[in-house]
Amino acid sequence: MKFRIIQRLALMALALAAFSPLSRAQAQIAGDWQGTLDAGGTQLRLVLHITAAKDGSLTATLDSVDQGANGIPVSAITLKDSNLSLKVDAVHGTYEGTVNKDATEIDGTWSQGMPLELNFKRAAAQTVVAPKPAPPSEIDGTWQGTLDAGALKLRILFKIVNTQDGLTAQMQSPDQSTVWLSATSVKRSGSSLTIELKGIGVVYEGKIAPDLNSIDGTFSQMGSPLPLALKRVKDQAELERRRPQNPVKPYPYREEEVTYANKAAGNTLAATLTVPSGKGPFPAVLLISGSGPHDRDESLMGHKPFLVLSDYLTRKGIAVLRADKRGIGKSTGDYAAATIADFATDAEAGVAYLKSRSEVDPHRIGLIGHSEGGVTAPMAAVADPGVAFIVMMAGSGVPGDQIILEQLRLIEEAAGASKEKVAHDLDNEREVLALVEKEKDSTILDKKLREKLVADGMPEAQIGASVKMVMGPWFRDFLTYDPATALRKVACPVLVLNGEKDLQVPPAQNLPAIRKALEEGGNKHFEIEEMPGLNHLFQTAKTGSPAEYAQIEETISPVALDKIAGWILKQ
């Protein structure tokens, strides 16, 4: 589930190009295109390079000029008539545009959790000149620190290199992206160091220690300063996060890339199907991820929970289907416009696909939903009575406005915030949520929200993006939807699991509500368990704070994995 909006790094990353048939229009669109993305007050200049090959394929790369990321491969590009579609998988971004008759302009929308206008015009190719090398300075090398952004702790890396033109630097947030962004400027005066990345509104100002092994400073993005102490990286192994549960090929089962259609919505879901070795038909599950633009592995904070879960279940004799969310990865559709009900129809399409596979027993197909997926699964099961069972992992039982307030309280308390600050932030959050729920006129709501956020002291550069997010269809639906509505109608067996230390979907708030709804509906085949010591991701945790997610090596507790597999096989 969503938790309170915190400061994020606008990192852009990339993936491989896909192909489509060559046409005269595609030949005309080949070339270089330039546009500017207004990301909440931050202006990002983008250059799109499109190439039409003789074999009938289109490929593309993207330069983010202000972020210093050049030659970024686009994951997929298609052109049908005058409609151009692009995907950039690693940032869960999509672009839909219309090419004019003269092929001189492309007007469209970039979506990355929220839609933003992005128009391109033909431009000359950007020339990137590599800086000339020079003897290393005494601060050349890689520096690492951890940014404490309240609900999250994010590693920040700076790679400093001396050139004949002076010091240069690149920055990476490895818990968010593998892309290195080039600094706009690097200035050193004695022990003072300033690194600036104008494209994403970042400034780092620090004091270099006399022993040249640490830098104590402040990291600011869009006007919000946070302390950031850097230490010199002496061994590259220090930078690697261990994820011992990630499976290593070859697998003892069959893995297949598949697609299936949600005909009613007009989108196609791209997925991975894993089938146990041996003779079927096998029981099967569809995995439904939590809120956010997740890929099929539900990748987040350096973990791949659904990759680990699908591997474990398949080894136990259960076929598993896991898909990229609509509009994400290789799936088509409009992610930014979708609500939980829309994602439920995608789940129904996944169940229908599993029923079509000869390796799957059509009478033993179930759903496993995590977080938002735990709300989606009951909706899909009600729509398709053929669903044999449901596993709710950290699914909620109360409306979203209650979830947001409780998780805000718990996360701030876990971070050590004072009672006064928690009370103040809760009051502000209630006022924002009340505005979103009561005001139906979008123009008036936009104005009121901006006034409220300015009064709360939010930096101007962050206000635009925040307003667009809370006014989006998913968020407004999430605030008021009561999961009990579907739970009362679920007739199949249900396993409800929650981590004792879950601060995002707190068990004390949600498990009683889920039990009540199932009992009111007359369901006598459910089991509810609060799992000791586990957080929202079902990791073994100390506090349960999201700040721990990336730091914990474990992706999913073996106790949780065993519980899920054992319960399914008993069904």
Q: What is the mean pLDDT of residues 232-243?
A: 84
Structure confidence by residue, pLDDT tens digits, 120-177: 998 765 455 677 889 999 999 999 999 887 667 888 999 999 999 999 999 988 877 6
The CATH code of the domain that includes 218 is 2.40.128.20
Q: Is residue 261 one of the residues assigned to a domain? A: yes
The CATH code of the domain that includes 51 is 2.40.128.120
User: Is there a single domain that holds both residue 395 and residue 490?
Assistant: yes
Last residue of a domain, one of 91, 122, 153: 122
Q: With beta carbons less than 8 A apart as the criterion, state whether 286 and 318 touch.
A: no
User: Is there a single domain that holds both residue 394 and residue 512?
Assistant: yes
User: DSSP of 484-499, one letter per residue?
Assistant: HHHHTT--S-EEEEEE
Domain carrying residue 172: 141-235
Last residue of a domain, one of 94, 122, 150: 122
Residue 18, pLDDT above cutoff 50: no
User: Is there a single domain that holds both residue 300 and residue 164?
Assistant: no
The 10 Å Cβ neighbour count of residue 255 is 15
Q: What is the mean pLDDT of residues 326-339?
A: 90
User: Is there a single domain that holds both residue 201 and residue 262?
Assistant: no
Token output for 230: 């850097």
Please report the beta strands in 356-444, taking only residues with DSSP state E, as ranges in sequence order: 360-370, 389-393
Among 147-156, 242-251, 335-344, 551-560, the least confident range: 147-156
Structure confidence by residue, pLDDT tens digits, 171-211: 988 877 667 788 889 999 999 999 998 867 789 999 999 99
pLDDT value at position 79?
87
Q: Is residue 241 one of the residues assigned to a domain? A: no
More confident residue, 269 or 147: 269
User: Is there a single domain that holds both residue 490 and residue 519?
Assistant: yes
For tokens 């020339």, the residue is: 127
pLDDT value at position 156?
93
User: Is there a single domain that holds both residue 149 and residue 108?
Assistant: no
Query: Which one, of 210, 31, 227, lies nearest residue 147 by Cα?
Result: 227
Q: Is residue 385 one of the residues assigned to a domain? A: yes
The mean of the pLDDT values for the chain is: 88
> How far, in Å, CA of 286 to CA of 309, rounded?
11
Structure confidence by residue, pLDDT tens digits, 400-459: 999 999 999 999 998 888 999 999 999 999 999 999 999 999 899 999 999 988 888 877
User: Is there a single domain that holds both residue 394 and residue 276?
Assistant: yes
> How far, in Å, CA of 369 to CA of 324, rounded?
14
Q: Is residue 10 one of the residues assigned to a domain? A: no
Q: With beta carbons less than 8 A apart as the criterion, state whether 320 and 273 touch.
A: yes
The CATH code of the domain that includes 500 is 3.40.50.1820
Q: What is the mean pLDDT of residues 272-277?
A: 98
Count of structural domains within the chain: 4
Beta-carbon contacts of residue 81 (< 8 Å; ≥ 6 apart): 25
Q: Is residue 278 one of the residues assigned to a domain? A: yes
Residue 360, pLDDT above cutoff 90: yes
Alpha-helical segments (H) within 322-399: 340-355, 372-383
Q: What is the mean pLDDT of residues 257-284?
A: 96
Alpha-helical segments (H) within 9-53: 24-29
Residue 26, pLDDT above cutoff 60: no
Q: Which of 16-30, 226-240, 436-450, 513-527 has the highest mean pLDDT?
A: 513-527
